[in-house]
Structure 1
Amino acid sequence: MKFDIRPTANPVSEKDRAARLVDPGFGRVFTDHMAIVRYTQGKGWHDARVESRANFPLDPAMAVLHYAQEIFEGLKAYRRDDGGVNLFRPDANARRFRQSADRMAMAQLPESVFIDAVEQVVRIDRAWIPGGEGSLYLRPFMIASEVFLGVKPSSEYIFAVIASSVGSYFKGGPAPVSIWVSENYTRAAIGGTGAVKCGGNYAASLRAQAEAIEHGCDQVVFLDAVERRYIEELGGMNVFFAFDDGSLLTPPLGTILPGITRDSIIALARDAGTRVREEPYTIDQWRADAASGRLKEAFACGTAAVISPIGKVRSTSGDFLINGGAAGPVAMGLRKQLVDIQYGRAADPHNWIVKVF
């Protein structure tokens, strides 16, 4: 499939773009273009193009508005010191996107089309990539676009990629976050959509996140839906635990999102000879191991923040600190190693980097 490239006739001026890139924050500064591919049952994927970023015309009966057939991904483009641009593991995002589509009964986009769409947006909006530790956050997504009222898979879809200039997630370096243990809400159950990157999962997490903020915490961590004991993941990040024997533990896949940052951390840790366990871990174990000193660090991970140290855990059963509430060497060491690969400052032992330029 070949993309029809239609550069915008009214790009943001170089002066205005430079002003927006001074302090772009996260997810609020958008580039000039987007990629779009449409799907129609019986015709397949068609009309691939890159064009001016613009609003979609939405019929009030469009399926996504009523039955929530929607999936998305998140990845970044990084500017190297030599001026080139890297993508980090776009094949993994493309593969997970197809898996999400399959679970949501949506048309499956070929992985090659996903990657090409992402690369086309990076090429045409290269000037929007901030310098330093900034990056271009790419948001591929798919929505059900058939106009009908009835519970069935849509026969039409829109796949699109938009891009947002983002700065460093943490100003002054990653600061330890505080976590609220959700006891009233669960994120996913076996057989559900916990492993899918769909908007509904995030919508369902927002009340629990609001509860965390009400208790003075930065993030919420969810327990399993059956026994309400086992740690699953944060509202939008996977979680790791580092112990005094040098090992790492992370909850097993099944009801949690198979994070690409999570998978990369596991690979890098094992490269270094670290024993990594993908095993269930209860909130009571977390509390006891933090008290005894057996647990040295805990950290969350995801595309946006890479790694966030966890300094404090709060719940109705009481609070506890991890590593005195400070960031630890395991989390920070893994974060530096991963970021250096992404920006092309270190060797890439797993061939994760795709050079767009």
Structure 2
Amino acid sequence: MGAADAIRAEALRLGFDAVGFARAHLAPEARARLRQFLAEGLHGGMAWMEPRADQRAHPQALWPEAVSVISLGLNYGPETDPLESLAWRDRGTISVYARNRDYHDVVKKRLKALGQWMAQRFKGQPLKVFVDTAPVMEKPLAQQAGLGWQGKHTNLVSRTHGSWLFLGEIFTTLDLAPDAAERDHCGSCRACLDICPTDAFPAPYRLDARRCISYLTIEHHGPIPHELRPKMGNRIYGCDDCLAACPWNKFAHAHAEPGFAPRVELTAPRLAELAALDDATFRQKFSGSPIKRIGRNRFVRNVLVAIGNSGDPALRPVAQALSEDADPTVAECARWATERLPA
């Protein structure tokens, strides 16, 4: 058995659902797309993307010894309709990937296990493991490795797993035969573009993060622009609309990872309960969750936007109680929500 076949077999044994190999070079069109994205300021407040843009565009600038990239995918397909809770006005909607444990921990544990196996099998061949923790262009590399293609929503689409793959990479000095890159299968479909509540796609294959609900609820600091708030509905952490709309999901299946099973308290949680969280209770509630990273203030800000969009008079006192919150962004959003709700 050759090196690539042995690595693929071990990765599948460890529980990965997709494995592919690519050269440690990014395709020119992927580099051009990154340059355009940054030049037009579509990355919004994610200023951390700019200083290391060269490493994103050139894997060997990140690690000069890299020869091959092993791209790995872990299915997180939801068990039920991820958009169902959008209609429940007193509840919040949390993106599918954040309803249980932080996926970084799950994926990284398996990547390390595969890396340790490789270190034993291929002695003298160093490697590096990445899972969204370094300037790595995961989706273009996954496309080059044959795992899927970047759809019009800019996310990876797989013919087997739809839009529901977590990605991780192993950079290695091994010279592994690359897999054939996956070609685009979107055709004339616009489902992901047309469903976006905030019109975050100025054109197919282009994302304006400044209008993306995932960006606004997770990466964006400070007040959310007033004109976008009514469009956010009850989405309080992330957004799955463009992912869920993809017709290729008809071939997807539910995940088999216990760590991805949604916690009951994070599946359509009550907005009133979330708004009452102080810093300590927030940290306790979201221990081990990716939500913990954004902190109490940003999260409660998101909850207040959802409350303001609820139209539920019973939530007006909840918003009003936070109108003098110590955090000025929370307080402003609380006053905005109060004004929108009937007394």
Q: TM-score range by the shorter chain?
A: under 0.3
Instruction: Tell me the TM-score normalized by structure 1.
Output: 0.26
User: Which protein is richer in helix relative to its size?
Assistant: 2
Instruction: Tell me the TM-score normalized by structure 2.
Output: 0.27
Higher relative contact order (CA 8 A, sep 6+): 2
User: Which protein is richer in strand relative to its size?
Assistant: 1
